[in-house]
Amino acid sequence: MNAQNYDEYQVTITVSLSLEEIMVDWLLGFGTDHDFVSFPVDSHSSNHEGLSLAEQVAGRQKRLRFQIAIGVDELAPFLDRLKQDFQGSGIHYRVVPFVESGHL
């Protein structure tokens, strides 16, 4: 990944409900000055591994999504620590560049 093309990135992390407090504490403890948001989402997948019977019938699993803006210099250390601290946890993450952002 060539992260040098943009100044800021959005990291989206989707976790199981059981990891909510752990992820909140982890993000607060990371040491970044950036705020983050969290909100409930429904995760849909044709892979039923780990889903309860009710989730399989409903076709979705309740999860939580966290979004945080990370500067280019913080991105690699953030992802390295995320991968190290949550290896095998089943969380999903995605990184996208900010083309533009601001406050109105």
pTM for the full predicted model: 0.80
State the sign of the Cα–Cα–Cα–Cα dihedral 6, 101, 65, 58: negative
Q: Are 65 and 38 in contact (CB under 8 A)?
A: yes
State the sign of the Cα–Cα–Cα–Cα dihedral 47, 48, 50, 56: positive
Range scoring the smallest mean pLDDT among 3-7, 33-37, 95-99: 3-7
Does some domain include residue 103?
Answer: no
Domain residue limits at 18: 3-97
Confidence of residue 55 (pLDDT cuts 50, 70, 90): low
d(CA 23, CA 13): 9
Does some domain include residue 83?
Answer: yes
Please state the domain count of the chain. Answer: 1
CATH code of the domain containing 54: 3.30.70.120
